[in-house]
């Protein structure tokens, strides 16, 4: 049995009964269940449709995300999340670079690295080097003035944790940011790179080894082993090339507003919804979301 989930942006809910009904009929689906009126709905089907990606492309043009996945085991016991452009709306290194006066140059490198065009370790080393001499206090300024949570994130964490899930934040960014974001959202642990500081100023280097793609895979395997879980119990979410390892290993790997090369490798692609989409694809209705 498979479950079909249709969802839209909560800011512009445009899922119509007509679209839902047309797809139910075309795919021989069971009764529809509205998870949030006009925003998200689901129904069950007996087998995976051969034209799934053709239909996905069609409804994307309507502002609708489509997910088809096995019905069994949809509710996950662990959340493994990227931070930059996933749990927050920014790339922290880009914001630090703006403060250092090299924002445009660093932003271009970041975009290319996240799309898999550049080696992650080399790209991080090059960008951090440009931050040499920046006052450490700027980190707090960036956190306070430039960083905002991705919509739906607080509800995602609160709801999954209310149902007993474990949550880990794993980033190719920096501990100075993951620690703050993890505490604000309620993650159980966080892992990231550490910016080196001397005399209150950034040295332009990060502590070794650099945490990249393999470190996120390692986090998944280590944490699940420690908790007595398997990769199938994990919902992983990210947007960049360094997330692909954990996204393809997890039971549910979600490409959230992801780079094209990343989305192409994932079965769950969210381009219109926010982080609350990760609750809908697990079968949670909006009235079941935990209060935040």
115 band by pLDDT with thresholds 50, 70 and 90: confident
Q: Mean of the pLDDT values across residues 113-117?
A: 83
Active site residue 84: yes
Q: pLDDT tens for residues 270-289? A: 999 999 999 999 999 999 99
Arithmetic mean of pLDDT over the chain: 95
pLDDT higher than threshold 90 for residue 153: yes
Query: Which pLDDT score is estimated for 111?
Result: 86
Q: Residue 54's pLDDT is what?
A: 97
Which CATH code for domain 76-292? 3.40.50.1000
Active site residue 58: no
CATH 3.40.50.1000 domain span(s) along the chain: 76-292
Cα angle value 275/278/280 (rounded, 5°): 115
- CA 107/CA 109 separation, integer angstroms: 5
How many helices and strands, by DSSP H and E, does the chain display? 12, 12
Catalytic residue among 65, 82, 121, 239: 82
The pLDDT assigned to 65 comes to: 98
Q: For 217-262, write each residue's pLDDT tens digit.
A: 999 999 999 999 999 999 999 999 999 999 999 999 999 999 888 9
Q: Which residues contact 25 (CB under 8 A, 6 or more apart)?
A: none
pLDDT of 94 reads 93
What per-residue confidence (pLDDT) applies to 204?
Answer: 94
CA torsion, ordered 106, 134, 178, 142, to nearest 10 deg: -80
Specify which residues 237 forms β-bridges with.
Answer: 81, 254
Instruction: For 63-158, list the strands marked E by DSSP.
Output: 64-70, 78-81
List the one residue out of 250, 245, 215, 216 whose CA is nearest residue 230.
250
Query: Out of 12, 65, 84, 94, which one is annotated catalytic?
Result: 84
Three-state DSSP string of 199-219: CCEEEEEECCCCCCHHHHHHH
Say if domain 1-72 classifies as CATH 3.30.420.40.
no
- Write the pLDDT tens digit of every residue in 1-35: 999 999 999 999 999 999 999 999 999 999 999 99
Cα gap 163→183, rounded to integer Å = 19
Q: Residue 120: is its pLDDT beyond 90?
A: no
The closest alpha carbon to 74, from 198, 205, 235, belongs to 235
**Start-end of CATH 3.30.70.260 domains in the chain:** 1-72
């Amino acid at each position: 049995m498979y479950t079909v989930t249709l969802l839209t942006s909560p800011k512009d809910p445009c899922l119509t009964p007509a679209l839902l009904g047309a797809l139910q009929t075309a795919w021989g689906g069971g009764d529809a269940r509205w998870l949030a009126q006009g925003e998200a709905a689901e129904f069950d089907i007996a087998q995976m449709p051969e034209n799934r990606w053709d239909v996905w492309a069609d409804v994307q043009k309507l502002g609708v995300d489509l997910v088809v996945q096995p019905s069994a085991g949809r509710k996950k016991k662990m959340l493994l999340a990227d931070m930059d452009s996933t749990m927050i709306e920014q790339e922290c290194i880009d914001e630090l670079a703006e403060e250092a006066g090299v924002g445009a140059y660093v932003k271009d490198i970041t975009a290319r690295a996240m799309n898999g065009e550049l080696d992650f370790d080399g790209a991080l080393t090059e960008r951090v080097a440009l931050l040499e001499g920046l006052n450490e206090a700027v980190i707090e300024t960036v956190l306070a003035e430039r960083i905002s949570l991705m919509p739906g994130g607080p509800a995602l964490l609160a709801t999954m944790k209310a149902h007993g899930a474990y949550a880990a934040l794993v980033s190719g960014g920096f501990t100075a940011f993951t620690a703050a974001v993890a505490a604000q959202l309620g993650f159980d642990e966080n892992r990231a790179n550490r910016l080196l500081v001397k005399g209150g100023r950034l040295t332009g280097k990060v502590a070794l080894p650099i945490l990249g793609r393999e470190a996120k895979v390692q986090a998944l395997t280590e944490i699940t082993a420690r908790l007595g879980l398997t990769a199938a119990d994990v919902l992983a979410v990210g947007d960049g090339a360094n997330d692909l390892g954990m996204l393809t290993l997890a039971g549910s790997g979600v490409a959230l507003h992801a780079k094209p090369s990343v989305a192409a490798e994932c079965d769950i692609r969210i381009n219109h919804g926010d982080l609350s989409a990760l609750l809908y694809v697990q079968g949670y209705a909006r009235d079941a979301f935990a209060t935040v």
